[in-house]
Structure 1
Amino acid sequence: MYAKALIYKSHTFLIYIVKISIIAISFYFIYSKLALNDSLSLPEFWSVLKSSAIISLNSVLFVGLLSVVNWFLEILKWQNLVNAVKSITLKSAIAQTLGSHTASLFTPNRIGDYGAKALYFPSNLRAKIMGLNGLGNLAQMCVTTFFGSIGLIFFTKAFPINFDFKTLHWSRYLIFGLLCMGLILVVKTYLKPETWILKTKRFLSSISLSLLGKTLLFSTLRYLVFSFQFYFLLQLFNIDLGYLNTMMIISSLYLLASILPSIFIFDVVLKGSIAVYLFSFFNINETIVLSCITLMWLFNTVLPSVLGSYYVMSFKGPKL
């Protein structure tokens, strides 16, 4: 009896340490991006904010409201997806969405989000939950690709971008080829693509058109909200390129950022470098562009992760 109690206490303590570690690592990455950002220092960022209308109460509240709407749509999308296999409340959907967001901050391309959400469910449902999560992310990617492709087509017509392939050294082709061969070998050896493809077909055949349509609708609404939020921030910094030109750049930015692999917490750096390049065609000040990207990151990544840390600490796992 004493041994069982000791094992239980050790297990509880280990889980507590894991929770604290997840939050500590997430907050450390957030701090490093704010305090140790080579592209935009905190004094520069604060100076830009003071010289614009962004620090007014009404502006902050409106930008914050757009973030709330953005994440509420993501929560509703997740609840709608999960209800296909197990009915969950809005409260549970909030906990799962924000908690997994915090837990996946330091994982490449938010891959940790899959495992984090699956942990909220019994083992017999986890494969389906991960598949539904993938469907939600795929729907968001499809919307981003659709609008981004349109924006990028117009952008490249207005500003032709030429790539000089002569400058690429032959060794880069060799390294790229070896990486592709290694990836194929890993997939063939460990992932068993034949079995995976068969399971994927079975899973997709079980998805109703109604569920797919609602998922795409929530994804589209989310895209419209956060892209408008970016547009509104630019207006606060007195950057008026016209609505169509601005949305052309924003949609191109999100498409290019989504196809490049990165750790989610470093998303601000990736988006910042792409945004500076795209807005440079319109001679927009680099500091202002980086400030807008940083604000988008603070409102849509950092604040939700702070809220999500509560759900990480209160996580208890599924009831069996």
Structure 2
Amino acid sequence: MDARELKTVKKTKFTWSWLWSMPVRLALLLAMSWFIYYEAQLVIPQEADYLEKWSGLLKAHQVEVILCLLLLPVNVIFEALKWKTAVQSFHKLNLWPAVKSILFGNTLGIFTPAKSGEYAGRLLHLQMRESPPGIMANLYCSLAQNAVNLLIGGICFGLNTKFNTLIDNSLTLGMVTFSMILTLLMLMVYFNLGTLFGFVQEKFQRFFKSFSVLGDEILNSHQKVNILSWSLLRYLVYALQYVLICKAFNFDLSIVQLLQGIGVIFLIQSMLILPPVMSLIARGETALLVWSVFGVEADKILLASLTLWMINVLIPAIAGTGVYSLHKYRGVKAV
């Protein structure tokens, strides 16, 4: 086969690959459009003129909203650096491919309970033989972020007596203690995950025969600390975004009160496992529960929650769809 014929075959293969990806991309876009419309209809009361109020507040506080948008890529980069650290022992990943993995994971995560599709999206960019250690890497990232959320959330819950109204006063100390114990247990599992899987694999060899690598330790202590550090930085960036949005929607609260409320919201959200159609509703209900303690109006709470969801969940998911489309169009590997 000469060079011209080889070029023709490659071109034909590329064209069919592009055509095959079209319905997949279209399905993703249609599903996302329906998802956005459905959740917005459930969260925003139709009888209130919310769109006019929303538009007015955003125009009056453009600086806060722009700053929040500018922090979005910082948030994504921190998560990409965390993922890059988690997989570096078995897959050499540069920053930009790591960012694309995170964005595509967000696309799948928007449709799945507890954003489980986010982790599957990251695995799709690894080779098949790297899937088992990729599962381990996902577990490390998830445990680290949840440990940070639980630790800070438990402290915030205990620091403000207003949160006593959320549960019985006698249970407040128990709630804080439970959060601290859960954080400690999570960190113990985090720093001994390979050993734990090795023990389980030894006891149930029949079920783990195909995933023997799960018993291998893919990270050293220094890398685990780094992942925790990236998780803390990501928490701080996300908390700052939330503060900016609260200021944009005129939450008449101090910075300390805002940070305490945000910590409790993250604490509650870390414990929720919900189907995708309930995720935005749960965010709105959780925000209403927490911010109502401080006397913030319900319309401001719902609009702030929806705005933050659009910035930190919807935009990355749309960007991930674009990454997937571009990847298929160029006919190259995503990472």
TM-score category of the 2 structures, normalised to the smaller one: 0.7 to 0.9
| Mapped partners of 1:31, 1:199: distance in 2 | 44
* Corresponding residue of 2:86: 81
| Mapped partners of 1:139, 1:263: distance in 2 | 23
Out of 94, 104, 111, the position equivalent to 1:106 is: 111
* Corresponding residue of 1:238: 250
CA contact (8 A) 2:136 2:214 kept: no
Q: Does 1:48 align with 2:53?
A: yes
Q: Does 1:136 align with 2:145?
A: no
| Mapped partners of 1:299, 1:192: distance in 2 | 45
Alignment-mate amino acid for residue 20 of structure 1: L
Q: How many Å apart are 1:83 and its aligned residue?
A: 1.9
Q: How many Å apart are 1:81 and its aligned residue?
A: 1.9
Q: Does 1:222 align with 2:234?
A: yes
| Mapped partners of 2:13, 2:74: distance in 1 | 44
* Corresponding residue of 1:303: 315
CA contact (8 A) 1:19 1:313 kept: yes
Q: Does 1:269 align with 2:281?
A: yes
What do residues 207-239 of structure 1 show as CA deviations (whole Å, max 9, x unaligned)? 211211111111101101111211122222232
| Mapped partners of 1:193, 1:150: distance in 2 | 38
Within-5 A mapping of 1:166-205:
194-195=204-205, 202-203=215-216, 205=217
**Unaligned stretches of 5+ in structure 2?**
1-8, 170-200
Q: Secondary structure at the match of 1:233?
A: helix
CA contact (8 A) 1:97 1:117 kept: yes
Q: Does 1:20 align with 2:23?
A: no
| Mapped partners of 2:232, 2:276: distance in 1 | 21
Alignment-mate amino acid for residue 326 of structure 2: S
Q: How many Å apart are 1:301 and its aligned residue?
A: 0.8
Q: Secondary structure at the match of 1:284?
A: coil
What do residues 38-77 of structure 1 show as CA deviations (whole Å, max 9, x unaligned)? 4444963333334436554433321111222111211221
Q: Secondary structure at the match of 2:104?
A: helix
Out of 280, 292, 296, the position equivalent to 1:280 is: 292
CA contact (8 A) 1:20 1:313 kept: no
Alignment-mate amino acid for residue 268 of structure 1: L
CA contact (8 A) 1:121 1:318 kept: no
CA contact (8 A) 1:119 1:318 kept: no
Q: Does 1:152 align with 2:157?
A: yes
Change (3 A) 1:312 1:53: closer
| Mapped partners of 2:286, 2:96: distance in 1 | 36
Identical-pair percentage: 21
Q: How many Å apart are 1:200 and its aligned residue?
A: 8.1
| Mapped partners of 2:253, 2:299: distance in 1 | 17
CA contact (8 A) 1:144 1:254 kept: yes
Q: Secondary structure at the match of 1:223?
A: helix
**Unaligned stretches of 5+ in structure 1?**
164-190
* Corresponding residue of 2:324: 312
* Corresponding residue of 1:37: 42
Change (3 A) 1:66 1:263: farther
CA contact (8 A) 2:109 2:115 kept: yes
Change (3 A) 1:48 1:265: same
What do residues 148-174 of structure 1 show as CA deviations (whole Å, max 9, x unaligned)? 1112223467524139xxxxxxxxxxx
* Corresponding residue of 1:171: none
| Mapped partners of 2:32, 2:162: distance in 1 | 40
Q: How many Å apart are 1:259 and its aligned residue?
A: 0.7
* Corresponding residue of 2:71: 66
Change (3 A) 1:155 1:140: same
CA contact (8 A) 2:105 2:122 kept: yes
RMSD (Å) for aligned C-alpha atoms: 3.3
TM-score normalized by structure 1?
0.78
TM-score normalized by structure 2?
0.75
Q: How many Å apart are 1:267 and its aligned residue?
A: 2.5
Change (3 A) 1:71 1:268: same
